[in-house]
Structure formats: structure tokens, C-alpha cells
Chains A and B, each alone.
Chain A
Amino acid sequence: MEITQPLFGTDASSTDSAGLCVEGLVTSLNATTPWQLILPASGVFGLTGPSGGGKSTLLSTLAGQRRCRGTIAFASTVWQSGRRALATHKRALSLGFQDSRLFAGQSVADNLALARRYSRRSLPGEECDQLLRDFGIAPLLHQPVELLSGGEAQRVALLRQLFHNAPLQLFDEALSAVERAQVLRRLLPTLRDFWTRHPALVIWTSHDFDEIQLLAQRCLWMECANLSAPMSLTEVARRLEANALGDSCRSRIEARVESLRDGLLSLDLGGVSLYADRVTGHYRNGDTAAFLLDAGDISLSLEKPGLSSILNCLPVTLAGKQGLANGRIRLQLTAAGQMLYADISRLSCERLQLRAGTTYFAQFKAGSLAGL
């Protein structure tokens, strides 16, 4: 049954009246494992897990596009109670689809204008222009959507959702067809900036854990229709490894922003300055910035090296080592309480005679800090 008005509108008894509260949600997929979920009113949360686990089903159920039972409330408004559901367009949300679903027969500009027109908190014009430039959509504005490539269509679909600027934004593999370098270098920093300026509750579904690591602080895990509570990224990385889904060769590291000049970002990690170049995101001094470091980009030396074109030299402690199937050795290193991985050859490992608990110097180039 469809409710035409939010007649069971405001509900003070809801457990988390400001954010998203899901209780005992049952669909045909999870008849025996009802979903529970409590999230705050704003923040970015990842959602990942093996394929076919029910991630897309959860999103379409939250959006009211799938038959279900249970309770869904968001921002003090009840969306679903028992079998009664509020129509999708009356929910303060936006949902992106894996197949983009751009409005056919219309131009990119028409698609974006429609999303903006039906927004309840419309973005200022300057903000939209900036997003168009950051997403590289400006030259495509007058193209019919049928002529876009897969990656372009995904960027337009994502932008359409940002233009709509709903309080709850659900994304489903929004960047899977976009070139990886663009995603890391340009789109993820833009998204992070955007949600800092326009806070919303965002559920970012992806198989690409790097995207989640760079956007979110915490992540939901869905496996065989079982939904976990939000967990730390370290725990998700462990589960991905256990499912042989991830290759955790990229470490997520957080550091404090010291300065940003001419695209060169200076960061402070436990008293050591790190540098990242070609930075496109906007940062203020004192912000915490997260970046990814590929295990293959790190070299290790026993003593502090002299002046070099490699800008970054970080003292690290060896926590453990593990042989990889390809004959290389993966080192677990810690620096300022954070874990990072470095892959080196077996020969290097034998020559350096690495021992756990000893301090070494990790070197990596300024261009290897990804996602800033």
C-alpha cells in the first residue's frame, strides 16, 4: 500500500530521530536475517561485500522501490512502517543506479536541470558550475545522453545526484566505469570537498575498497544478505582479505595538513613532513587528509638517506613480514600508530636482514600519495 502523504510523519519515539534508523527490515532476499541499521544524519559510509550479497537490494529497499516489511525512518520522518510505505519521490533521498539510467532523448544539461528542479535544497549556480568543471562535464553539456561513453554517463549520473543534493544520498558502483586515475586524482577529492561543504548522509556502495578508504571513515559490510553495523576500515580490509576479494597493497594513511602551495601539499605525520604533488582537492591548514600509498611504491633503507629527489622519508618500525605468492615479501610497517605495507623482493629482504621491531626509513615519491 502506498501512502500519499507522510501521515505518520514526525515520530519523536524514533531511536535516532536525526539520522537513518532501520529496524527489522525484511525483503524476499533476507527473510531470516532482518536488517538493522542506525546511522547519523550526516557522514559518508562505505558499503561493500561479495557480489550478490544484497547491497543493491538494501539501497532500493531504502528508496522504497522494493517490497519489504519493517521500519525505516530518516530525519524524524517514518518512511516505512510494517507493510506501509511512503512513495519514493516523497523520501528525502536520491538513489544512483549501476546502469546510470540517464533520461534518454534529452541532453546532459536537461538531465542535470531536471535533478536540480526537483531538489528540496537546491545548490547555488556557482557551485554547479564548479562541479561541472571538476567532473569534466562542461564540454559535454549539450550532448544527447545516448552519445556518452560509459564513463561519461557515470560521471553525469553522479553529478545529477549531487545537483539534487538530497539529505540521504545512496550510490551504487557510481564510478566503476570511470578511468581509475581520474577517480583517484580528481573525482574523489571533489566529492570529499563537496560533502564537507554540503553535509549529507551518504552510503557509497563499491567493490573498489580504495574509493571507500578515501571517502569514508566507516564502512558497512553485506554478505549473504547479512548486514553488519558500521565498522572500521581496518576490519573491512581484514574481511576483504579473508574473502580473497581485496589486494590490500594500498595502505590508507591519515595526516594533518601543514600547507598547500602550487599543488604541493605538505602533511604532518607524527612530526615528520610528507609531501604530495599535483593535488587537486581543497585543504585548510590543520585538516586531516587521508591518502593511499601503494605497497609497490615504497622503498626501504637501513639508514637515513641523504638528499634525494624523492621527497618523502618516513621512519617506520617493522611489525611483521609475509611471503607473497609471487615470490615477493610484504612488510607490515608502523609509523605514528598507523599501519602501512611495503612490497620488496626476497633478495632485498635477505640483503637488508630485516628484523621485526627495528626502525627503518621508508622512501616514496611525492606523486605516489593517491587520492589527495
Chain B
Amino acid sequence: MTIAAADWQALWLTLKLAGLTTLLLFVLGVPLAWRLSQWQSRWRHGIEILITLPLVLPPTVLGFYLLLLFSPNYASGQWLSQLLGGPLVFSFGGLVFASVIYSLPFMVQPLLAAFNTNGQRLSQAASALGMPPWAALLKVVLPASRAAIVSACALTFAHTLGEFGVVLMIGGAIPGETQVVSIALYQHVEAMEYGAAHRLALMLIGITTVLLLLARWLGHILAPRGSTKESLKPATGVWG
């Protein structure tokens, strides 16, 4: 079984895109979810809906408007390309930008759920012991939300891995720049190269399976464990 150099390139690009998107979204998603969980305003629901929108919107709709947003024919596109030092349409930078928006709910929703149930209670307890808000977040709320963080990152990574519609709309299929695995796979099928398509598909199945196993394993080792209480308690009881 041989895999063409272009397919390796597509695979590498896909992993790079998914990794970078997950990293960026983690850095953006934690403060965003934290602010949202603390915010007691009716605007909060509006923002939450806006963040959830990419979850239900057809990727082509999102891709179409991102294409217009990035277009050098409009002021927004010119400003963005100046800001980021290059055009966003048909470029890797554009893919990262789009993926961050597209996968936003997959990072923010699990974090928000964890912060809403546990974060508020624990940050109150932390501040009632003199801890400033940033310390409460870093030292109390995030360690308590480890399982949610793992699942948020795994979901974001996996979701970006399979991205198709948005990439097609704004990235096209430039090898080494915007041709991700799902696009390359599509092109192989179009060209009736079923052997190459199978190889890429199997590779994606393998990667996602490993990813899920990894997330489960991490969830397992992060779960609270310890020696059983019975073995730690002295036989006569602590109070003798």
C-alpha cells in the first residue's frame, strides 16, 4: 500500500490545521466560556446562540459568508489581510480563521456546561477564602473541569479533522496550502481512484479512533482515584 506524496501532504496539513485550531480555541474558549458563565445579563443568551450557530448552520452557508468577509473586494477583507499580513481567501491562514469560528461551539459548549454546574459554586468558595478571580479560575475551576477540557479539545480536534464544506468554499484545494484530507478524498472519488480514496479514508478512521481512545484514557487517568478509604483508616477508627 503506497500513499502518494500529495496525500501525505494533505494529511500533514489536516493535522496541522486541527492542532492549531484546537490550541487557538482553547486559549480563546476558556476565557470566553468563563466570562459567559459569570455574566448575568439577558444578552448572554444572544451570545450563546451566536456561538452555537455554527453547530446547526450548513457549513456552506458559513463558508459563503466567510468568503465574502475575506474577499479583497470588500473593506473587511482588505482590513483582515492587512491585519494578518496576507490574504485569507485560498490560504492556510484563512482556513485556520474559518476553523476557529466553525469549531467554536465544540470548545465552548462543554466548557460552559462544566463552568455553569461547578465553576460558579467553586469560584464562590475560592473567593470566600481570599482567592482573586484569576487564581480561582486557574487553581480551582480549571483543575475541577479537567474532564470537560479533555472532551472539548478532543471534540474540537475531531471536528476540524473532518471539515469539508467550509474548506471547499473558502480554501479550494491548493495542494500544500488548503488541500486537507477530506478534500483530497473527495477528489480521488471524483477521479474514480478508489484505492487512494480507501487509503485516505482508512487513515482518517484510524486517527479518529486513536483520538477517541486517547480521550477516554485521559478521562480515566484524570478521574479521582486513590487508595481505598478502608485501607487508609486505622482499624480502631480515627477517634479511637
Contacts and interface: CB of A to CB of B under 8 A. Distances in A.
Interface in A98-124: 99, 101-107, 114-115, 118-120
Contact of A118 (B131, B232, B234): B131
A139 B233 contact: yes
B76 interface: no
Nearest to A163: B129
B229 A143 contact: yes
A204 to B, nearest CB: 16
Which of B125, B126, B132, B144 has the largest number of chain A CB atoms within 10 A?
Answer: B125
B232 A140 contact: yes
Given A118-B135, A147-B229, A105 B128 contact: no
A228 to B, nearest CB: 25
Given A97-B125, A144-B224, A186-B239, A103 B144 contact: yes
A185 B122 CA distance: 31
Given A106-B143, A139-B233, A139-B234, A146 B224 contact: yes
Nearest to B146: A105
Contact of A103 (B125, B128, B130, B146): B125
Nearest to B233: A139
Nearest to A145: B224
Which of A101, A119, A139 has the largest number of chain B CB atoms within 10 A?
Answer: A101
Contacts of A136: 238-239
Contacts of A120: 130
A227 B195 CA distance: 80
Interface in A177-234: 181-182, 185-186
A89 B239 contact: no
Interface string A153-178: 00000001100101000000000000
Contact of B125 (A101, A106, A139, A146): A101
A88 B127 contact: yes
B129 A63 contact: no
A95 B124 CA distance: 9
Contact of B130 (A102, A149, A164): A164
B46 interface: no
B85 interface: no
Nearest to B132: A89
Interface in B62-115: none
A99 B222 CA distance: 23
Nearest to A104: B144
A9 B224 CA distance: 43
Interface residues of B, number: 32
Interface string B218-232: 000010111101001
B121 interface: yes
Contacts of B224: 104-105, 144-147
Given A106-B143, A114-B140, A182-B239, A101 B122 contact: yes
B118 A114 contact: no
B124 A65 contact: yes
Given A94-B128, A105-B146, A114 B139 contact: yes
B175 interface: no
A264 interface: no
Given A101-B122, A114-B140, A147 B226 contact: yes
B133 interface: yes
Interface string A2-29: 0000000000000000000000000000
Contacts of A144: 224-226
A87 interface: yes
Contacts of A95: 128
B115 to A, nearest CB: 13
A40 B225 CA distance: 45
A87 B136 CA distance: 13
Contacts of A355: none
A166 to B, nearest CB: 7
B136 to A, nearest CB: 8
Contact of A89 (B130, B144, B234): B130
Nearest to A100: B125
Nearest to A115: B129
A93 interface: yes
A105 B143 contact: yes
A307 B145 CA distance: 65
Given A101-B122, A140-B232, A144-B225, A119 B130 contact: yes
Interface of B: 118, 121-122, 124-133, 135-136, 139-140, 143-146, 222, 224-227, 229, 232-234, 238-239
For the complex of A and B, 7 pairs with smallest distance between CB atoms: A144-B224, A136-B238, A95-B128, A101-B125, A146-B224, A104-B144, A88-B127
11 contacts: A87-B133, A89-B130, A95-B128, A104-B224, A114-B126, A114-B129, A114-B131, A115-B129, A139-B233, A139-B238, A147-B229
